[in-house]
A and B are shown apart, each in its own frame.
Chain A
């Protein structure tokens, strides 16, 4: 028996099914995507090789470049609005003595709701006549805003909803990091006369930089593949104002049967995500990898 278990081929035999399935459902489709990306496949008829035409057309396609810009809005909103808010809320909750569990559960709640439910709930909040926001603004005599149907406001409305959905998840991550900091460090600073704000900025935040770095990277990755909230709330509208790369790709491939072009778009999305996360890793994340207490 022991002799058998020392035979590496036996172990190989056990992992072969998983590796087989992995190749079948992950590796093979990736290669297949590359193949379809250089064809004009329409989903119905045999594909014809078109070289890099799909990729060239993608960068000439004003709607696609506009959707790249919208994805960038998601990234910028995540980094410059969402992350500071996540840190602020985490610091506030970590300082709470009573009902900390309640606050943690409450902020985490949106992340366990399905995107469809969140989208529909927020559609009511944004409703021009019965929505919360316009009712609230109405008290100050402000005219109704067409949050989801005015191209000026639609993107911001979706960004806010998306941030609300995911902030709780990241707050819990950051909170765990804050609570893991040894109490002595903060107590020593307090004895030395540091105020709460000084401790938060000068001590806690630098010590949780590694987890903040992870949150930023996850936000970038999340912003690159965002699509569900857009499809539920605006379906890329009004007039393409909230179209993101993934929703544009789905639309091109499925509605118009341009599967070759759609696949090329998916490869471009993958490449952009890869480049952005690599840049972030190389430029920022490496610097904050280690913290020693």
Chain B
């Protein structure tokens, strides 16, 4: 009898320790899985539903965003409003906001979560073969086509092609942007420098500033996507606006002399010391702070940065003292020299693993966020160009920088995208590596382009 008791006690102990070790937080309702929530949603009996009003079922829906610093305060405010509206639309829904730094989200957290099969329900997502399209092909993203059809907004977007796989839409761009030069008007005026119209004039401006001990261009290259913006535009200027698409589909090569010339121009600027000293140890925020602090004359950044240089922005010290222009034309440059960079590659994606409640919350989120109201407010408050078709007369143009950017874009003969929306993650990574190698003096323009093309050739061969 005693033996039996001890055996039972030991078995209970064993089982309880195994069960406690394998327990989950499902019951806490912190992050209900699709299956558990689905069963919960079907649990109330029909008789109960008939006799009393349907009980509101509370559920959480995770929302990963990248609006973490003061520089993104306007965008965060818009997101919070959208969340409040969506919570009101879907009784019981509680959006759990999860802010993460953008590079960490794109390159570390989301890829790891995708591999583990537990991404948030709503998350910041980039399009293209290295991000959104890769996840969509693996069945990790929610097909938004039926939701867009139901909401009647599918034809409202100007371009969401980088989120499309086999005709289905898996993500929605939150806005559009161009990349160009911001400049400190006071520094340029004090040094008798006119806004450069050609690459030679830009070179001369850099040289004049450098000679006077002023850093020509603020640059933070610890994360290589920052200088990559500049290189991407330089490549288009020298090799034509079709180069990105051409390299992406294999019809063009990065080893073409014009592309090498673009890299050589960038290498020349590095060697001449036109960028912030110690740029490899400075991050994106550090770069902006340097420009805001008046320590550098130029800043190459996206049009979204325009909101910083207003009376309410982080760079209010420079309010009214900043101008914007697109990359000047290059002598001997191929193709349309007025072409501007135009990206609609960042927005939101949604997990494929959602139940009916979560899908309803996602639908409400899309309905509220992707509306004319927030496209206009994003433009007005944050300098984000609309990703949806908005009547131009409704877009306020108080901010001279956005006004300038729109005018430049309107005058441009064509547009070109960023390489990262057209090439695989490994190619994008090789671009970034070679850019940092150029900065560190570990590569030459020729070797860098050859190395990137080699990785792209390998990726294209794998697709065949």
Q: Given A21-B21, A43-B115, do A254 and B108 touch, yes or no (CB 8 Å)?
A: yes
Asked whether, in the complex, the Cβ of A128 is within 8 Å of the Cβ of B277, the reply is yes
**Bound state CA distance, A234 and B282, in angstroms?**
10
Which of A1, A18, A237 has the most chain B CB within a 10 Å cutoff?
A237
Closest to B111 in A: A254
| A1-44 interface (Cβ within 8 A of B) | 1, 3-5, 7, 10, 13-14, 16-18, 20-21, 43-44
- Does residue B140 face the partner (Cβ distance < 8 Å to A)? yes
- Does residue A222 face the partner (Cβ distance < 8 Å to B)? no
Asked whether, in the complex, the Cβ of A240 is within 8 Å of the Cβ of B429, the reply is no
Mark B residues whose CB is within 8 Å of A.
2-3, 6-7, 10-11, 13-14, 17-18, 21, 107-108, 111-112, 114-115, 134-135, 137-138, 140, 222, 277-282, 425-426, 429, 433, 436-437, 439-440, 442
Asked whether, in the complex, the Cβ of A255 is within 8 Å of the Cβ of B437, the reply is no
User: Could you pull out 7 A-B pairs where Cβ atoms are within 8 angstroms?
Assistant: A1-B6, A44-B135, A44-B138, A149-B222, A149-B282, A237-B222, A238-B222
* Cβ contacts under 8 Å, B429 to chain A: 255-256
Asked whether, in the complex, the Cβ of A240 is within 8 Å of the Cβ of B10, the reply is no
A248 smallest CB distance to B (angstroms): 12
* Cβ contacts under 8 Å, A148 to chain B: 281
* Cβ contacts under 8 Å, A241 to chain B: 440
B312 smallest CB distance to A (angstroms): 28
Asked whether, in the complex, the Cβ of A257 is within 8 Å of the Cβ of B17, the reply is no
Partner of B107, one of A5, A20, A147, A255: A255
B111 smallest CB distance to A (angstroms): 5
* Cβ contacts under 8 Å, A240 to chain B: 433, 436-437
Mark A residues whose CB is within 8 Å of B.
1, 3-5, 7, 10, 13-14, 16-18, 20-21, 43-45, 128, 146-151, 234-235, 237-241, 254-259
Closest to A257 in B: B111
**Bound state CA distance, A21 and B15, in angstroms?**
12
Partner of B10, one of A1, A14, A45: A14
Partner of B442, one of A1, A7, A150, A239: A239
Asked whether, in the complex, the Cβ of A238 is within 8 Å of the Cβ of B115, the reply is no
* Cβ contacts under 8 Å, A18 to chain B: 17
* Cβ contacts under 8 Å, B442 to chain A: 151, 239
A46 smallest CB distance to B (angstroms): 10
**Bound state CA distance, A237 and B436, in angstroms?**
9
Asked whether, in the complex, the Cβ of B439 is within 8 Å of the Cβ of A239, the reply is yes
In the A-B complex, the 10 residue pairs with the smallest Cβ-Cβ separation, listed nearest first, are A149-B281, A43-B115, A238-B280, A44-B138, A239-B440, A146-B278, A149-B278, A239-B436, A149-B280, A13-B10
Closest to B220 in A: A149
**Bound state CA distance, A128 and B429, in angstroms?**
28
Closest to B21 in A: A21
Asked whether, in the complex, the Cβ of A17 is within 8 Å of the Cβ of B437, the reply is no
* Cβ contacts under 8 Å, A237 to chain B: 222, 280-281, 436
Asked whether, in the complex, the Cβ of A151 is within 8 Å of the Cβ of B281, the reply is no
**Bound state CA distance, A13 and B14, in angstroms?**
7
* Cβ contacts under 8 Å, B108 to chain A: 254-255
